[in-house]
């Protein structure tokens, strides 16, 4: 845990460790999956952490990152490689309508961070040292993904049970009226 200077008038400092989070950008019906999380001890500049985060996402998913959408803190990153483009919020050059729409989706990570802070205990860490910070960050991301999968599985089971109950008629307790002659 370090003292991080925020540079704001109301809260000038906060205590904690910076965490880098990478999620999917597509608007998935199940929610945004966390692809990679890293704790960044020592309060590094955001632009210097981007290369490590992209490397982690590529290592975990096995897919090369084609486009990354980041906030203005990542200016001057220098990680654009062959076939990879980095788009910074409020960027004007080289923006097509598709990229503009995807860049607006960048703000959708804020609720994910909020849910991980409250539901996933990312806001409070009880583990010791830099290794404890890294373990807490990774487990918070894994827990977020497991909560999304659990919610999807519950919806699937409810849909299956609804379909089964509608497909099978309820038993009729009235007995047929047979006339024996």
Is residue 141 assigned to a domain?
A: yes
Strand partners, 69: 87
Q: What domain range is 97 assigned to?
A: 2-162
**Residues 6 or more apart in contact with residue 119 via CB below 8 angstroms:** 143, 144, 147
Mean of per-residue pLDDT scores for the chain: 81
On the question of pLDDT at 173 being above 60, the answer is no
68: tokens are: 């990354």
**Average pLDDT of span 130-155:** 91
Q: What is the pTM of this model?
A: 0.77
Is residue 103 assigned to a domain?
A: yes
**Whole-number pLDDT of residue 178:** 60
Cα 20 to Cα 22: distance, rounded to the nearest angstrom: 7
3-state secondary structure of 33: coil
**Whole-number pLDDT of residue 170:** 59
Which is more confidently placed, 11 or 52? 52
Query: How does 18-27 read in b/e, with b if 16+ C-beta sit within 10 Å?
Result: bbbbbbbbee
- Strand ranges in the chain using DSSP code E only, listed in sequence order: 2-5, 13-16, 18-23, 34-40, 67-70, 85-88
pLDDT in tens, 39-97: 888 877 777 888 888 889 999 999 888 888 888 777 766 677 667 778 887 777 878 88
Pairing verdict, β 85-88 and 67-70 = parallel
Domains in the chain, number: 1
On the question of pLDDT at 128 being above 80, the answer is yes
Question: 7, 33, 35, 36: which is closest to 19 by C-alpha?
Answer: 36
Is residue 79 assigned to a domain?
A: yes
**Average pLDDT of span 164-178:** 65
């Amino acid at each position: 845990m370090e003292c991080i200077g925020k540079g704001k008038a109301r809260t000038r400092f906060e205590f904690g460790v910076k965490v880098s989070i990478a999620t999917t950008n597509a608007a998935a019906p199940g929610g945004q999956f966390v692809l990679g999380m890293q704790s960044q001890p020592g309060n590094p500049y955001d632009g210097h952490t981007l290369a490590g985060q992209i490397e982690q996402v590529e290592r975990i998913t096995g897919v090369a990152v084609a486009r990354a959408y980041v906030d203005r803190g990542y200016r001057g990153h220098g990680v654009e490689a062959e076939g990879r483009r980095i788009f910074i919020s409020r960027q004007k050059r080289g923006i097509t309508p598709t990229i503009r729409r995807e860049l607006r989706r960048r703000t959708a990570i804020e609720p994910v961070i909020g849910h991980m802070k409250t539901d996933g205990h990312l806001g409070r860490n009880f583990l010791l040292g830099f290794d404890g910070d890294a373990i807490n960050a990774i487990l918070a991301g894994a827990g977020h993904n497991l909560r999304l999968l659990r919610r999807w599985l519950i919806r699937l089971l409810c849909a299956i049970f609804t379909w089964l109950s509608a497909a099978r008629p309820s038993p009729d307790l009235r007995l047929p009226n047979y006339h024996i002659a």
